[in-house]
Amino acid sequence: MTLIIGGLCAGQALHISPTDPIAVQIGLILGAIAGVGGGYFNRSVIWMLPIQGRKVFLNRLEQSVQSLGLGLLEEEPASEAANVATPTPLLARVYGATGLGSTFSGRLYVNVYQDTAEIMGRAATIKKLKLML
């Protein structure tokens, strides 16, 4: 899609046909740059962090998440279907934007274990959250 848009814009800017090889090459370069940038900023990362107290951590997390404009969507206590191979979280939460903002924003998944927490979400969101916590 970026190839087509880039080719059309290059054709208009250079006063050539959008099907001209130069316009197509410029569109291809712009598409590659947009793809790499989108892949970098929209990738998901997992952040494991040690926690001292579950309630203190959850209060700080709640304040930080609210300042990012996200709200609690789901909360699930310890899973009944415990897997022996992996530790079962004591608490699992899902945060996300509500309303129209939820269409383009990613969700934040939080698993709280005995002495660690696991937070998964978009890299940009996790980066902001690291600065707040």
* pLDDT surpasses 70 at 82: no
Q: Which helix (H) or strand (E) holds 44?
A: strand 44-50
Domain ranges of the chain: 2-41, 44-132
Residue 63: the pLDDT is: 93
Residue 19: the pLDDT is: 83
- In the structure, what pLDDT confidence band is assigned to residue 89 with cuts at 50, 70 and 90? confident
Q: Which fold has domain 44-132?
A: Double Stranded RNA Binding Domain (3.30.160)
| Three-state DSSP state, 43 | coil
Any residues with CB less than 8 A from the CB of 66 and at least 6 apart, and which?
Answer: none
pLDDT 10s digits, 42-72: 889 999 999 988 889 999 999 999 998 899 9
- In the structure, what pLDDT confidence band is assigned to residue 85 with cuts at 50, 70 and 90? low
Q: Cα–Cα distance between 4 and 40 in angstroms, integer?
A: 22
- In the structure, what pLDDT confidence band is assigned to residue 76 with cuts at 50, 70 and 90? confident
